[in-house]
Structure 1
Amino acid sequence: MKNRFYLACTRETVGTNMSFHCVNGNGYSANVGLAHTYTREEAQAAWDSGREIELPVSADDVDALTVLHVDHQYVPGKTTIEPGCVKYVGFVKGQWDGNDLYWLCNGSLPTTDFSKASTFESPTDSAEIVWLPFHLADAVKRRTFNINLLDRRRMIQGAGLKTPDHIKRYKRRKGSSGKVRWNCPCCGKISWQLNPYDFDGCRNISCEEWRPRYEQ
Structure 2
Amino acid sequence: MVFHAIDGKGYTSNLDLAHVYSLEEAQKEYELSRDGEYPISADHIDSLSIAKVDHQCLPAISDLTPSDKYVVFIKGIFDGNDVYWVDMNGRRSTNFIHAQIISRTAAECINHVDYVVVPFELADKMKRRTFNASLLNKRKMVTAAGLKTPERLKKRRRRIVNPMTRFNCPACGKINWQHNPYDFDGCKHCDEGLLIGSQWGAA
Equivalences, count: 173
Q: CA RMSD in A?
A: 2.6
Q: Percent identity over the alignment?
A: 42
Structure 1 stretches of at least 4 aligned residues deviating more than 6 Å after TM superposition: none
Q: Deviations over 1:44-103 (max 9, x none)?
A: 011012112210000011011100000111111111111x32311110011111111000
> Quick one: distance in 2 between partners of 1:191 and 1:25?
40
Q: Is 1:32 matched up with 2:15?
A: yes
Higher share of residues assigned helix:
2
The answer (yes or no) to whether the contact 1:80–1:132 under 8 Å persists in 2 is yes
Query: 1:141 Cα deviation (Å)?
Result: 0.3
Correspondence 1:51-70 to 2 at 5 A: 51-70=34-53
Alignment TM-score, normalising by the size of structure 1: 0.72
Is 1:204 the counterpart of 2:177? The answer is no
Query: Secondary structure of 1:168's match?
Result: helix
Q: Which has the higher strand share?
A: 1
Check if 1:110 corresponds to 2:110: no
Paired with 1:43 and 1:92, the residues of 2 have a C-alpha distance of 39
Listed as ranges, the gaps of 5+ residues in structure 2 are 171-181, 184-203
Give the Cα–Cα distance (whole angstroms) in 2 for the partners of residues 56 and 90 of structure 1: 36
Name the structure 2 match of 1:166: 152
| One-letter amino acid of the counterpart of residue 157, structure 1 | T
Give the unaligned 5+ runs of structure 1. Answer: 1-17, 175-180, 182-189, 193-202, 209-213
Against the structure 1 CA distance between its residues 167 and 106, is the aligned structure 2 distance closer, same or farther, given a 3 Å change threshold? farther
In 2, the alpha carbon distance for the partners of 1:121 and 1:76 equals 19
Separation (CA, whole Å) in 1 of partners of 2:158 and 2:134: 23
Query: TM-score by structure 2 length?
Result: 0.77
Equivalent pair of 1:102/1:110 in contact (CA under 8 Å)? yes
> How far apart, CA to CA, are the structure 1 residues paired with 2:169 and 2:62?
64
1:133 aligns with 2:119: yes
Q: How does 1:14-25 map to 2 (within 5 A)?
A: 18-25=1-8
Larger-Rg structure: 2
CA distance in 1, matches of 2:166, 2:144: 44
Work out whether residues 21 and 28 of structure 1, in 8 Å CA contact, stay in contact via their aligned partners in 2.
yes
Q: Which secondary structure state, in structure 1, belongs to the residue aligned with residue 167 of structure 2?
A: coil
